[in-house]
Amino acid sequence: MGVDRSRRFTAGANTRGPVVDAYYTAHTGFHVLANGSPAMPVYYEDVEVGTVETNGDYDVTREEVLSFAERYDPQWFHTEPDRAAEESPYGGVIASGWHTAAMTMRLLVEGTLADAATVGAKGVDELRWPVPVRPGDSLHIENEVLEKVPERPERGLIRARTRTFNQDDERVFSMIGNVMYLRRSDE
């Protein structure tokens, strides 16, 4: 798989990415990237079924795994490294699946959705965690557009499969997102 590794994210690093102001985008057709330059947004009409994009790397740290788990998913195999090494079927502490979803979302927003005229999502389908994420893993994503559904004159729904892989290209996460994209107002 040809992975675009041009964007690298490390937990705790300054990873401020593109900022999308939905109001500004909807009313001007432009938005401003984090570096201050204007960018043309990707509207519903611009998205093609079958398009596959790969984005970034995210380095998973032990500190982030423990911190997220202690706050949001305090199960012992996420929060107690010594016990997890001795007693868990994973042989050590692993990231919460919800943490994996959050890291995936970060890569998705910083990559595929960075220039998208999106206004949120209606949910996800087929959420899966086939392989655990561990401290030291480096994650990247692949996003494939599956379907376009026109909903309203001002927006449409894009169904896309997002898959997250570790440094060994093992799939660690997958979902089908149902994302609302603005439509061009001049068409």
Phi, psi of 14 (to 5 degrees): -75, 100
In the chain, DSSP finds a helix count (H) and a strand count (E) of 5, 8
pLDDT for 18 beyond 50: no
Token pair 């004159």 is found at 153
The CATH number of domain 8-182, selected from 3.10.129.10, 3.20.20.60, 3.40.50.2000, 3.40.50.970 = 3.10.129.10
Q: What is the reported pTM? A: 0.80
Spatial strand order of the sheet with 171-182 comes to 8-10, 52-59, 138-152, 155-165, 171-182, 118-128
Looking at per-residue pLDDT, the higher value among 187 and 176 belongs to 176
| Average pLDDT of the residues in 127-153 | 97
Q: pLDDT tens, 35-93? A: 555 567 999 999 999 999 999 899 999 999 999 999 999 999 999 999 999 999 999 99
Q: Residue ranges per domain, the chain?
A: 8-182
**What would the mean pLDDT of 114-134 be, rounded to a whole number?**
96
Pick the closest to residue 7 from 59, 84, 51, 50 (CA basis): 59
